[in-house]
A and B are shown apart, each in its own frame.
Chain A
Amino acid sequence: MPTHLQIIALDRIAYEDDVDIVVLPGEEGQLGVLPRHARIVTLLEPGEVLTRKAGEETALVISGGFAQIGPDHVTILSDAAEYAEDIDIERAEEARRRAQERIADTRTTTEMDMARAESALLRSMARIRVAERVAARRRRQPPGPTQPRGDG
């Protein structure tokens, strides 16, 4: 019995498929979900959602949010979500540099500019982190399935 995974972003449904296992970036570390999981709702950190279907892995980056988990479904709500391989590391680096410059620049430190620059910075950093991890993993062996939580 597969788990029906839905990743819903603010502006679209980013991913929808039946998968064998989902690994989520939980607040207290990674959380692996196999079918027949207990019904819980939990918060997610910005990071990576990893799914496996018939031996094939897919990685997505989410900006944090929460997951509603049940025996046959996982629904993730996150402001933003995208496929890890769609991330252009160079562009993300560029965005990070620009954001850092704006934060360092004392002339543009109205609170709005700061808020905008900070959110750009956090976002670009999360994307870089995941994109690098995906690239590294691709060079290594793909890992085995993560153990689900004991109390699940």
Chain B
Amino acid sequence: MPNTRQIRQRIRSVTSTQRITSAMELIAAAKMRRAQQRVLASRPYATRLRDLIGDLVSRQSASGADETHPLMQVREPRSIGLILFTPDRGLCGGLNANLSRAALRFALDQGHPVSHISVGKKGNDFFSRRGREIRAEFLNLGDFPDPVATSPIARIVLEDYEAERLDRVYIGYAEFVNTAVQMPVIRQLLPVEPPEEHEGETLGDYEYEPDAATVLGGLLPRYVEMQVYQASLENSASEQSARMVAMRAATDAAGEMIDALTLEYNKARQETITKELLDLVGGVAALEKA
């Protein structure tokens, strides 16, 4: 049984760990709220763009246009690109492991060479350790990357796709379902799949200048950039909420450990006192006998 001094030291160290984890929980909670606001703030742009592209595509197919835009043409997938968003840092529960494993499983299932574009340090480390081909890496974009920071990611895959170095591009990130649940998802980014039937106002009576095909050509790259940006927003909201939950669990665990150690400490202390008392009583008795 450890002595009281050792137990006291243990308690002190666990208490300071608890202080750190509870501070991290608060920080993550604040960042999560900010990340969620950013997700909301990006919705108007996304909705409009989706509506417009949906309208353009349905109009083109209605008019029987024979030309599909190069970014929408489906090619035989010979080489595949996978953009994977992961956090730069750990201490966020199983998020990193889940993301990396989902991406690896996906890559191995393809049956074609997959080159990785890793956004975030953890995923990058994971794939380089496994010797996978890394086409590009974007590290330390920060907790709240702005569109300027994410647009080069889209640019790289667009260039590779147009040059036919990549025939298909997927994007993987942690989707923010709620504070407790973040789901790794992998979506197709290129070729662009027309948005599902858009609801709300019909755009029917707008004229496109100079013409629909030109406008669509201008919008598609932006659509890709928008999707990359939104993936980064989702991913950072997920990261912060995963960290918040993990740190809350750590804080609780530290509290339980402190309770257990305090109990042990009190027992040890009592034992020492009892022993001392026994010694004392024994000593007195011995003296009295003499």
Contact = CB atoms under 8 A, between A and B. Distances in A.
Interface of A: 8-13, 27, 38-43, 65-66, 68, 70, 75, 77, 79-80, 110-112, 115-116, 119-120, 123
Given A11-B41, A65-B222, 6 more contacts: A10-B45, A11-B147, A38-B207, A41-B209, A77-B222, A111-B136
A10 B206 contact: no
Interface string B37-54: 010011011001100100
A119 B148 contact: yes
Contacts of B203: 41, 68
Contacts of A41: 52, 203, 206-209, 215
B207 A80 contact: no
Contacts of B148: 80, 119-120, 123
Contacts of A110: 136
B152 interface: yes
Candidate in B45, B148, B209, B210 with the most chain A CB atoms within 10 angstroms: B209
A66 B229 contact: no
Size bracket of the B interface = 20 to 34
Contacts of B36: none
B38 A11 contact: yes
B45 A77 contact: yes
B214 A112 contact: no
B152 A119 contact: yes
Contacts, number: 85
Interface of B: 38, 41-42, 44-45, 48-49, 52, 136-138, 146-148, 151-152, 155-156, 159, 203, 205-210, 214-215, 218-219, 222, 225-226, 229
A112 to B, nearest CB: 5
Candidate in A8, A10, A112, A123 with the most chain B CB atoms within 10 angstroms: A10
Candidate in A8, A38, A68, A110 with the most chain B CB atoms within 10 angstroms: A8
Contacts of A123: 148
B149 to A, nearest CB: 9
B207 A39 contact: yes
A13 B156 contact: no
Contact of A39 (B48, B206, B210): B206
Query: Closest 10 A-B residue pairs measured CB to CB?
Result: A42-B209, A115-B152, A10-B147, A43-B218, A39-B206, A40-B207, A116-B152, A12-B41, A115-B155, A8-B45
12 contacts: A8-B45, A8-B48, A10-B42, A12-B42, A39-B205, A41-B209, A42-B208, A42-B209, A43-B215, A68-B48, A112-B138, A112-B152
